[in-house]
A and B are shown apart, each in its own frame.
Chain A
Amino acid sequence: MMAAELLRPFEFEFFRNGLIVATMAGALCGLVGVYVVLKGMSYIGHGLSHAIFGGFAASTLLGINFLLGAGAWGVASALMINGVTRRRVIRSDAAIGVITTASFALGLALFAFFDGEGGSFDAALFGSILGVGTQDVIAIAVVSVLASTLVFLRYRALLFTTFDPEVAEVSGVNTARMDALLMLVLAGSILATMKILGVTLIAAALVIPPAVARMLTTSFSRMLWMSSLIGACCGFVGMNLSYHLDVQSGPTIVLVAATLFAVVFMGTGPLVRGRRNGLRPAHAR
């Protein structure tokens, strides 16, 4: 029976844990990703996840708790990237490339040098359902609550800073603090989701759901919840596929999201959208 086959993995606790984490990871990345995409920080998200891999390697090999070790590393990288992008000595994308890729390389070197490659190495790179425990469920729940609380309570300041930082600053918003808060939430989200999504694939979970949501709405508040919902759905479906296809969870979640993107992209092409919203197809500005 087809249904029985689909429901079978739910008998296993590791799968239920993995599914909860994947769904929450998708929602969390979808929410945080809205700011990442609209602020043009996609590359920062991509880089930061790679940077955190260095902290992951160091803490694994030193036997420190991964969340603490990689967490401290991630926060340090996030603040460093934030600092470098605010000063304009060299172009920010180059600066990010230097900091994050060096950190990623350090992680790879540490694993190779101490011969520590194995399950946790693969999981950190590509995501895995195995080894997702209660601690991970708690970690992602805590970060999700923090991120949602921040978005809810600082909604207006974050929106203003994201849309128009210069005028926000003149209007008395501490944009530097808002940027730093966003970086910290981003680092926390990457940390909490890297085991299930894998550092090399997190960027897609941050970017695709908001991009899909943006194609479906022109309202910021709607984009926030739509992106979270889309991320959650992709996490849920991707995790199930991962089990049935016996492929790592990171790739399946990303591929589900990418497929959805392609479908929505074709369904909301300039002509379709123009007819529905009364928009001119190519409004040049």
Chain B
Amino acid sequence: MSGGPLVALHGVTCRYASEDVLVDVDVAVGAGQFVGVVGPSGSGKTTLLRAVAGSMQPLRGTVTRRGGLRIAYVPQVETIDWSFPVTVAQCVLMARVHGRRWPWPSTAERAAVSEILARLDIEHLSDRHIRELSGGQQQRVFIARAMLGEPDLLLLDEPTSGVDVRLRHEILHLLDDLNARGLAILLTTHDLNGIAAHLPHVVCLNRTVLGAGRPVDVLTPDILERTYGASMQVLEHGGMPVVVDSFSHRHAAASHKHAHEHTHEHADRGLT
């Protein structure tokens, strides 16, 4: 791999209005790396992606990108206007915004779109409206759009928020597959067990970086408590960390006890 990271943030501070959303952040993504950023809502995950992509200029610090680096961005599906009148092919073609000047695609562009749709198993949907797709297909359309730009680095903002377990596996497998072919990936997620624990490299973020490395080294009670401001337990299962939210644990125990008392009450009343 031709030396140095693809993109590196050094001491980056980003500010919205008068609030520092990121403070003194150091993050680097190397060629072929697969990195997950975890943190609570409002911890600056999306801002970090924007700083990496270059759509957010840091107040302080530097962002260095390797010369000629191509970055593609997959937004959160919640931000998409699903009633917007575009078909799958039209949506994917948007990646060629700097292609030829004419509105309609060239034969080569058409072929490129078909090829990428075929690679993601959604070629048969190319003339469908984006709303007529399942959640997994919708996610694939936006990954296809990102891939059409032949990026070196793929950024995904919460690719698995609001999806069920099966779809989460599907997306994770797809990304794993793309990564295996050499694509570097940086994604944000709030899903510690479903996503983060499966990735080779994790960054814990809450306005600043609180830990970075392999999940087994980073997803520890200490770092997680500092990241989320709540105490969590970490178990181990098959060599992977499993994070247990202590609050919900206690809560579950309490409601179990409550249910128990409840049945007794019924039983008492039944006797009288």
Write the residues of chain A forming the contact surface with B, with a CB cutoff of 8 angstroms.
38, 88, 152-153, 155-157, 159-160, 162-164, 166-173, 214, 217-223, 277-279, 283, 285
> B225 near A: Cβ within 8 Å?
no
Q: Which residues of A contact B98 (CB under 8 A)?
A: 171-172
Residues on A with C-beta less than 8 A from B50 are: 170
Contact B86 A220 (CB under 8 A): yes
Interface pick from B75-83, B245-253, B254-262: B75-83
Closest to A222 in B: B85
Looking at the complex, which one of A169, A219, A279 makes contact with B86 (CB distance below 8 Å)?
A: A219
24 A-B residue pairs with Cβ-Cβ distance under 8 Å, sorted by A, are A38-B84, A152-B103, A156-B94, A157-B97, A159-B86, A160-B94, A163-B86, A164-B80, A164-B94, A166-B55, A167-B74, A167-B75, A170-B54, A170-B72, A170-B73, A171-B98, A172-B97, A214-B85, A218-B129, A219-B85, A220-B90, A221-B103, A277-B132, A283-B131
Contact of B99 with A by CB under 8 A: yes
A40 to chain B, nearest CB (A): 9
CB contacts (< 8 Å) of A168 on chain B: these are 94, 97
Task: Determine the distance from Cα of A157 to Cα of B103 in the docked complex, in whole angstroms.
Answer: 10
B144 in the interface (beta carbon within 8 A): no
B53 interface residue (CB < 8 Å to A) = yes
Give the chain A neighbours of B54 by CB distance below 8 A.
170
Whether A163 touches B87, Cβ cut-off 8 Å, given contacts A153-B101, A156-B103, A170-B73, is no
Kindly name the residue among A164, A167, A218 whose own CB sees the greatest number of chain B CB atoms within 10 A: A167
Contacts of B79 in A (CB 8 A): 164, 166
Q: Which residue of B lies closest to A166 (CB)?
A: B75
Evaluate whether A171 and B95 lie within 8 angstroms (CB atoms) in the complex, with A152-B103, A163-B84, A164-B75 already known.
yes
Q: How far is the CA of A283 from the CA of B17 in the complex (A)?
A: 37
B45 to chain A, nearest CB (A): 14
Task: Judge if B96 is at the interface, Cβ distance under 8 Å.
Answer: yes
Collect the chain B residues with CB atoms within 8 Å of residue A159's CB. 86, 90, 94
In the complex, besides A38-B81, A157-B97, A170-B55, 16 extra interface pairs with C-beta distance below 8 angstroms are: A38-B84, A159-B90, A160-B94, A164-B94, A167-B74, A168-B97, A170-B155, A171-B95, A218-B87, A220-B85, A220-B86, A221-B90, A223-B85, A277-B129, A279-B131, A283-B132
Q: Is B37 an interface residue (CB 8 A)?
A: no
**B76 shortest CB reach to chain A, Å:** 10
Contact residues of A: prevailing secondary structure: helix
Q: Compute how far the CA of A277 lies from the CA of B187 in the bound complex, rounded to whole angstroms.
A: 35
Q: Taking the complex as formed, is B149 at the interface, i.e. its CB lies under 8 A from any CB of chain A?
A: yes
Measured CB to CB, the closest approach of chain B to A273, in angstroms, equals: 11
Residues of A within 8 A of B85 (CB): 38, 214, 217-220, 222-223
Contacting residues of chain B (98-123) with chain A, CB-CB under 8 angstroms = 98-99, 101-104
Q: How far is the CB of A281 from chain B (nearest CB, A)?
A: 12
The CA of A153 and the CA of B102, in the complex, are separated in Å by 7
> Is B71's CB within 8 Å of the partner chain A?
yes
- Residues of B within 8 Å of A221, CB to CB, are 90, 103-104
Cα distance A84–B74 in the bound complex, in angstroms = 28
Q: How far is the CB of B230 from chain A (nearest CB, A)?
A: 30
Closest 10 CB pairs of A and B: A155-B103, A218-B129, A170-B73, A170-B53, A169-B55, A156-B97, A160-B94, A170-B55, A160-B97, A220-B85
In the assembled complex, the Cα of A171 lies from the Cα of B80 at a distance in Å of 16
Chain B residues, CB < 8 A from A217: 85
Name the residue among A168, A218, A278 with the largest chain B CB count within 10 angstroms: A218
CA–CA, A172 and B98, complex, Å = 8
B window 50-73: CB within 8 A of A: 50, 53-55, 71-73
Residues in chain B near residue A166, CB distance under 8 A: 55, 73, 75, 79
Residue in B closest to A151 when the chains form the complex, CB atoms: B103
Interface residues of B in 118-156 (CB under 8 A from A): 129, 131-132, 149, 155
Q: Which residue of A lies closest to B157 (CB)?
A: A166
- Distance (whole angstroms) from the CB of B62 to the closest CB of chain A: 19
A88 to B18, CA, bound (A): 12
Q: Name the CB-closest residue of A to B128.
A: A218
